[in-house]
Structure 1
Amino acid sequence: MTTRLQPGDTAPDFTLVDDTGETVTLSDLKDRKVIVYFYPAAMTPGCTKQACDFSDSIDRLQSEGYTVLGISPDKPEKLAKFRERDGLSITLLSDPSKEVLTQWAAFGEKKLYGKVVQGVIRSTFVVEAGKITLAQYNVKATGHVAKLRRDLGLGD
């Protein structure tokens, strides 16, 4: 199991494909503050709520210099349907190999309905100048973005 990332750690770099087929590389965004969040599956209730909350907050986050990257194991085609269906305005990245999820310790053992299973651990990170400044694991889908905004000093 990969060790969980902590504030001060170097953020593992990645290059992934988004829902339009374009590649996004984390290190290319080093002049911005980047919110990287990992979610289990597009078009499921909790993940939809979280993605819509990020999209609803994107103007405020961007005005404070943040870029939001949502990462799941879904293929780009499913992410495109997710974006279109829910009118999402955040960048959705595909990690079907779960390589990036694993590097960020966002894939592994978790409890689901009382059973221990292997899966995506809903997690959120803030990266500035290549370093992790905030690391949150096992976040709740509902209310998470409002809490994150408070944690970042951006209010509700």
Structure 2
Amino acid sequence: MSRFQLQVNGKPHSVEVDPDTPLLYVLRNDLKLNGAKFGCGLGQCGACTVMLDKEAVMSCLVPVALVGSRAVRTVESGGTRWVPSSVLQQAFLDEQAGQCGYCIAGMVMRATALFEQVASPTDAQIRSWMQPNLCRCGSHLRILRAVRRAADVLAAQPIRNY
């Protein structure tokens, strides 16, 4: 066991875990942040996607020892389904992008990373960027429409709040 200092959603956290413990388990079990979901545990579905600095990562593949001083952001850093805090969250609601909702937190985090790196993504960029995350309900087209809707709204805003 080792002690790690993590910066999660803008707040410092100290955890004592095995260095090989996946970040996903630390978030869910130790910090009680359950937005990132366990899907496959192999980095093949994206349900566990969070952000390290401005990069979308599958937290089931990231040992906590490799996080270091990078900022971790989870879907909990945003609003709630009742009070969305971003254009992106509102677009997911408007497009009814979540059927069962299991993949949505990972989808929102992957799209957030897209908007932080590409100011005005094309449809091809959106499809390519979202490709690593799977939706088993078949909401992919709604999810893509939600990301496109958010991109269009953000393009018209002087201050970006994705």
Q: Same fold (TM over 0.5)?
A: no
Q: Which has the higher contact order (CA 8 A, sep 6+)?
A: 1
- Where is the strand percentage greater, Structure 1 or Structure 2? 1
Q: So what's the TM-score if we normalise by structure 2?
A: 0.29
- Where is the helix percentage greater, Structure 1 or Structure 2? 2
